[in-house]
Amino acid sequence: MDPVRHQKRALGFLSGILAKNNVAHALVFTGDAGLGKRQAAVHFAMARNCEGTPDPESAMFGSQGPCGVCGSCRKILSGNHPDVLFVEKRGASIKIEQIRDLLSVLAMRPSEGKTRVVLISGAGDMTASSSNALLKALEEPSDTTCFVLLAGQKSELLPTVVSRCQEIRFSPLPVSFLIESLENDGVDPDLAHACAFIASGSLDKARALASDQGLARRNWLVNQLCALEDQGMGQALLLAEFLAKDKNAAQEDLNWIRTWLRDLLVSRYAPQRVINRDLMGLVNSRSAKTAPEVLLEKLQAVADCENDLTRNVNTRLSMENLCMRLSSGG
Ligand SMILES: [Zn+2]
């Protein structure tokens, strides 16, 4: 099943505005990667330009959905429709030249479509000058052009851009769906269970966690946590230095650390609720060595660290505090 089928609220809203023919000239779809934003945007562009009869069974927007088989739908699906324009980052960002090229195409009339749809994926990757150039187009709405921006969250965009767009939020995917998808990919069921719980509702994230690289990071962290309890303060400072090096990975590292500590705590009372099921043997042996009140204090240390990071406290300092608290009382 496609992830996008779980976006009932977002899809319901889109079919509503399609039915009333009341589509804002700029929409922003927000939510993590892997929730189906791009697929919904492509089908939305198809629905705006479809020449056939909607197929309510297969289409995403019910009676307002595209047929999926007419010339227009097929061109859009294959990325070859002259009036459905895709913009995404080149290198590290969406550059001003790309937006200028886009604006020069928009200055001409659509060549065959009913509505020109501009789909900007990773809109948060626009440079400030790109955003300002785009803003001009957003400020001068045209009846024939609809912009669909895709972004992780609104805060990635300039407020002036956001204020011109109607936001449609995509929800995190259910854990059960992530487990099923990972199992379909051939991931071991116990591992699929662990990764699905950490993935914050994103299939892309779940797949990254279940990859060899993702698992190596989890296993390394678990080993480090076990070593901390055995080796104390010197090890704590070394680990803190290492964790602070990659601020982008910090949230995921903290997620794994939290679930590991949680597993040690719940395993003695409710083993069926352990998240890292593939490490059950290690969970049981470490759990027997650590008192519940110590684990609760360590979980608090993780929560404090997460709080520090959202308040932009120095990463190295926060990680040192965390690792020292994790190393004590083991
Ligand atoms: Zn069609």
- For residue 119, the domain's CATH number is 3.40.50.300
d(CA 86, CA 283): 48
User: Which of 119, 143, 169 is a domain's end point?
Assistant: 169
Percentage of residues of the chain with pLDDT beyond 90 = 73
The count of other CB atoms within 10 Å of the CB of residue 174 is 12
pLDDT in tens, 258-298: 999 999 999 999 999 999 999 999 999 999 988 999 999 99
Predicted pLDDT at 156: 94
Distance 11 CA to ligand 1 centre (A): 18
Predicted pLDDT at 9: 93
Distance 120 CA to ligand 1 centre (A): 22
d(CA 268, CA 257): 18
Distance 49 CA to ligand 1 centre (A): 7
Give yes or no: residues 219 and 309 share one domain: yes
Checking if the pLDDT of 330 tops 50, the result is no
Distance 53 CA to ligand 1 centre (A): 7
Distance 203 CA to ligand 1 centre (A): 28
Give yes or no: residues 123 and 230 share one domain: no
User: Quick check: is 109 in a domain?
Assistant: yes
If pLDDT is split at 50, 70 and 90, which confidence band does 232 have?
A: confident
pLDDT in tens, 161-171: 999 999 999 99
Distances (CA, A) of 122 to 10, 86, 88, 93, 171: 18, 11, 6, 9, 17
User: Quick check: is 224 in a domain?
Assistant: yes
Distance 140 CA to ligand 1 centre (A): 29
pLDDT in tens, 6-25: 899 999 999 999 989 888 99
Q: Is the dihedral of CA 214, 218, 223, 229 positive or negative?
A: positive
User: Quick check: is 276 in a domain?
Assistant: yes
Give yes or no: residues 107 and 241 share one domain: no
| Better pLDDT: 330 or 281 | 281
Give yes or no: residues 157 and 278 share one domain: no
Distance 55 CA to ligand 1 centre (A): 9
Distance 89 CA to ligand 1 centre (A): 28
Ranges 21-35, 244-258, 292-306, most confident: 292-306
Length of the chain in terms of residues written: 330
pLDDT in tens, 70-129: 999 999 999 999 999 999 999 999 999 999 999 999 988 888 768 899 999 999 999 999
Give yes or no: residues 69 and 162 share one domain: yes
Give yes or no: residues 236 and 157 share one domain: no
d(CA 145, CA 138): 10
User: Quick check: is 178 in a domain?
Assistant: no
pLDDT in tens, 170-201: 999 999 999 999 999 999 999 999 999 988 89
Give yes or no: residues 150 and 8 share one domain: yes
Mean pLDDT over the full length of the chain: 91
Checking if the pLDDT of 222 tops 90, the result is yes
Distance 257 CA to ligand 1 centre (A): 48
| Better pLDDT: 77 or 141 | 77
Distance 284 CA to ligand 1 centre (A): 56
Q: Is the dihedral of CA 58, 60, 63, 65 positive or negative?
A: negative
User: Quick check: is 60 in a domain?
Assistant: yes
d(CA 261, CA 296): 8
User: Quick check: is 54 in a domain?
Assistant: yes
The CATH number covering residue 299 comes to: 1.20.272
d(CA 289, CA 292): 10
Nearest to 244 by CA among 257, 253, 233, 255: 253
If pLDDT is split at 50, 70 and 90, which confidence band does 59 have?
A: low
Distance 71 CA to ligand 1 centre (A): 7
Whole domain around residue 286: which residue ranges? 211-327
Instruction: Using CB atoms within 10 Å of the CB of residue 21, give its burial: 0 to 12 exposed, 13 to 18 middle, 19+ buried.
Output: exposed
Residues, beta carbon < 5 Å, ion ligand 1: 50, 52, 66-67, 70, 73
User: Which of 136, 169, 202 is a domain's end point?
Assistant: 169
Checking if the pLDDT of 318 tops 90, the result is yes
Give yes or no: residues 62 and 163 share one domain: yes
Q: What's phi and psi for 226, nearest 5 deg?
A: -65, -40
Distance 57 CA to ligand 1 centre (A): 14
Predicted pLDDT at 305: 96
Virtual CA dihedral for 150, 152, 157, 161, nearest 10 degrees? Answer: 40
Predicted pLDDT at 315: 92
Give yes or no: residues 161 and 294 share one domain: no
Least confident piece of the model among 44-48, 239-243, 247-251 = 247-251
User: Quick check: is 203 in a domain?
Assistant: no
DSSP 93: B
Region class of 306: left (phi > 0), else alpha (psi between -120 and 50), else beta: alpha
User: Quick check: is 180 in a domain?
Assistant: no
Predicted pLDDT at 57: 67
Give yes or no: residues 149 and 83 share one domain: yes
Give yes or no: residues 224 and 127 share one domain: no
Distance 50 CA to ligand 1 centre (A): 4
Number of domains in the chain: 2
Checking if the pLDDT of 58 tops 80, the result is no
Distance 168 CA to ligand 1 centre (A): 23
User: Which of 169, 184, 199 is a domain's end point?
Assistant: 169
Give yes or no: residues 154 and 87 share one domain: yes
* CA–centroid distance for 167 within its chain: 16
